[in-house]
Structure 1
Amino acid sequence: MLVKIHKAEDRKIVSIADKDIIGKEFEEGEKYLKISEYFYNGEEMEEEKILELLKSTNSANIVGENAIKFAIDNSIIEEDHILKVEGVPCAIVIFDES
């Protein structure tokens, strides 16, 4: 999985994506998903490090079979919160700041 950190003012957004879909676009009816290199092409990271990183972030964009499986297996998201576009799963997570 590739992970990229985006910072803006006092917010931090983490993007997590499967390496094999970076740079691709998917369309299904009204749904459109672009896995842009700018937003998703970060560094390869071990799962433990990703979990630690997510503890200090405001939100996460997660896309791809492996990334979504990782998020479900670690109770970051639930299966009914996943959107699929041309079979590619994705989810956005907003973390509670309290």
Structure 2
Amino acid sequence: MIVAERETPEGLLVAVCDREVLGETFESGEFSLTVTEEFYGGDDAGEQEVTNSLARATVANIVGEKAVDLAVDEGIVDEANVLEVGETVHAQLLRM
């Protein structure tokens, strides 16, 4: 998996994706999701590193089966809030 962290005025923004989906575009109806290097590009990370980043995140975007499954398994994202987009899955997190 790849994880990118950015400090923003609103808090920590974390982007996580499976390596296989980086650079890909997925579509579902009128919805399109492009997993860009600019936004999702970051460091290779194992499960513990991804979990730690997501646990600290104020906002997170997560794309790919492995990344989203990990977030669900760790109780960070509710499975009911996972979206299927074309051939992948996507979840967002917002802590207030």
- TM, length-normalised to structure 1: 0.88
Aligned to 2:37: 37
List runs of 5+ in structure 1 lacking aligned partners: none
Deviation per CA, 1:14-68, whole angstroms, max 9, x where unpaired?
0010001101111221111110111111111122222222332211100001001
Measured in 1, the distance between the counterparts of 2:72 and 2:30 equals 26
- Measured in 1, the distance between the counterparts of 2:83 and 2:53 equals 23
Structure 2 gap segments, 5+ residues each: none
**3-state SS in 2 of match to 1:76:** coil
User: What is the total number of aligned residue pairs between the two structures?
Assistant: 96
- Structure 1 runs of 4+ aligned residues shifted over 6 Å read none
- In the alignment, which residue of structure 2 is the partner of 1:57? 57
In the other structure, the counterpart of 1:17 is 17
* Greater C-alpha Rg: 1
Counting aligned pairs with the same residue, the percent is 31
Q: What is the alpha-carbon root mean square deviation over aligned residues?
A: 1.3
